[in-house]
Amino acid sequence: MSPIRIWDAVTPEIFAQIRAAAEPAVLRQIAADWPIVGAADPAAWLRAHAADGPVHYMQAPPEVAGRMHYGETIGSRNFVRREGGFAAFLDALGEQAGKGQPDALALQGAPAPSLVPGFAESHRLDIASGVVPRLWIGNAAKVATHHDPAENVAVVAAGRRRFTLFAPDQVGNLYMGPFDPTPAGVQVSMVHVTAPDFARYPRFADALAAAWSADLEPGDALYIPYHWYHHVEALDPFNVLVNFWWDPAVGGSPWDALMHGFVGLRNLPEDQRRAWRAMFDRYVFLTDGDPGAHLPAEARGVIGATTPEDLSAMRRALVAALQRSS
């Protein structure tokens, strides 16, 4: 593994450089002045400031060692979903903290304003201005390797977190599970990073050799570039992570394009797939520059379609074509 580069005193201008490099970055103590980071007892701080709304969380028995994942078969889970008041969830965390072998508890991705009124205003992050913060609260649980179709800044607000990241081109070595069903809403790796079975998943050794890693303290943040795979391990009996997701891209959904590729491309003969790969490289991924540079602007058609109006027209045509073929 390679250590993730550490940046100090990150401003929005410096963060623009970090994003342009498209590599993970530790933003050291970027949230050091947050109230929850400075609190002597972060759990008590949450109790004092939170609204007791309903929350959904996951609970797993001690024998899974915090690795919430599939159960014995695809379609089953090694944890149960629970619903209750936020205060009751914090109580449960306190009860488990006193056990030698606690259950793993994890509340994941809850919009912070719904649980802690005023949290976004009192816990600002200038590099993600206007983005709704989300709360991840629990004990020593592990989030399986997955990716987010968005930019992500994850701030450690309480406890310590260990991140293991894999570049998008490592997808073939990660042994990803199905798109559906999933344990918790996103596709996850079948390999446990903290206890890998190399006999069953031998290429994962190559993924680990190319992985990036970092341990973060409260106040630190991690920039996770778009589509980078990441495994997150909470290391303490009480942990709070605050993350900010956003996607600056405009236009259609890459996910929809992938699904259409399954239908229209994957079952073609190999020679035809090669031909279409060349077309995608030139016209979609622009691997050798502007494919319409040799044409007059008025003659480029869909090759030069970049305005919102152009993209809307193409989406309408695509929807109509899909409806005709269904």
Going from the first residue of the chain to its last (326 residues), give the mean pLDDT of each consecutive group of 10, the final group possibly shorter: 97 97 97 98 95 93 95 95 95 93 96 96 96 97 94 98 98 96 94 97 98 98 97 97 88 83 93 96 94 89 83 83 77
Q: Give residues with Cβ within 8 angstroms of 238, minimum separation 6.
A: 42, 43, 93, 97, 139, 158, 159
Angle at the Cα of 270 from the Cα atoms of 269 and 271, rounded to 5 degrees: 95
Domains and CATH numbers, the chain: 2-246 (2.60.120.10), 254-325 (no CATH)
Residue 72 neighbours by CB under 8 Å, 6+ apart? none
pLDDT of residue 250: 65
Q: Shortest CA distance to 212 belongs to which of 25, 7, 87?
A: 25
In whole angstroms, what is the distance from residue 200 CA to residue 177 CA? 14
> Who's near 184: CB < 8 A, 6+ residues apart?
58, 68, 108
**Residue recorded with tokens 């993600």:** 128
What pairing do the DSSP bridges indicate for beta strands 161-166 and 229-234?
Answer: antiparallel
3-state secondary structure of 253: coil
Predicted confidence at residue 256, as pLDDT, reads 85
Nearest to 56 by CA among 136, 133, 160, 116: 136
Give 18's contacts (C-beta < 8 A, 6+ positions apart): 7, 10, 25, 27, 223
Instruction: Identify how many contiguous H helices and E strands the chain contains and give both numbers.
Output: 10, 14
Token representation of residue 199: 């006999």
What residues have CB less than 8 Å from 180, skipping those under 6 apart?
none
